[in-house]
Structure 1
C-alpha cells in the first residue's frame, strides 16, 4: 500500500474521546488564557454540527473532524502567510521594544505604531477598489 505524499503520519484510524476540560482559573499560569478557552469551548458538543455537515455534504464524519483539527492547527501558519513574515517581524519588534523598556509611555507608543500597521493592512479590506500603485487622487 502506497502512502499519499501529503500524509506524514500513519493513515490508520485514530480514535479520540471528546472530553470536557474542567479548569480552575490560575492567572499565574502562562497558559491561563488558552486553558480558559479550552474549558469554555469544551462545554459544547460539536458532534451535532459535524454530523449535520457530514450528512449535508456527503463527507464522512471523521473527514470533517480531521479537516477541522488540521485547519485549526495550521491557522497560525495561515495567518503568517496572509500577513507576511516582514509585517509579522515588524509587529514583533514593536512589541519587543515596548516590553524591553517596560514603561507605560513605551507601551502606548507601541500601540500607536501597531495601530498604524493594522491601518495599513486594512486598506484593501476597507477599499475593495484599491490596487497597488493606483491612486484615486487626481494628479493636478
Structure 2
C-alpha cells in the first residue's frame, strides 16, 4: 500500500466518476428538453455550469455539505479524502 503522502489527492473524485458510469443521465436530460423546449445540449451545459459553480457556492453557504464532509474526513483522519476535497474546492483559484 502507498504511503498517505503518495496517494492521488483526486482518488475520491476518480472513484465517484467511475461509480457514476452505471447511471445514464440522458433520459432525464431528454425529458427536460422535451418539457421545456430547450435543446439537450443547452441543458447539459447548464448542468455542467451549475456543477462547476458548486465549489464556490459551497464556500458561501451557511452549512455547506462539502465543508461538513471535509470536517468528517478530517475528524476520521482520512488525509487522502481531505486532500481530494481541498483540491476540488480550490480548483480554479
Q: Please give the root-mean-square deviation of Cα atoms over the aligned residues, in Å.
A: 3.0
* Segments ≥4 residues shifted beyond 3 Å: none
CA deviation after TM superposition for structure 1 residue 42, in Å? 2.1
Q: Which has the higher helix share?
A: 2
In structure 1, what is the equivalent of residue 88 of structure 2? Answer: none
Q: Unaligned regions of 5+ residues in structure 2, if any?
A: 77-93
**TM-score with structure 2 length normalisation?**
0.56
The structure showing larger relative contact order (alpha-carbon pairs under 8 Å, at least 6 residues apart) is 2
Partner residue, 1:40: 19
Which sections of structure 1, spanning at least 5 residues, go unmatched? 1-25, 100-106, 109-140
User: Which residue of the other structure, out of 28, 37, 61, is the alignment partner of 1:58?
Assistant: 37
What's the TM-score once normalised by structure 1's chain length? 0.39
Decide which structure has the larger Cα Rg and report it.
1
Aligned pair count?
65
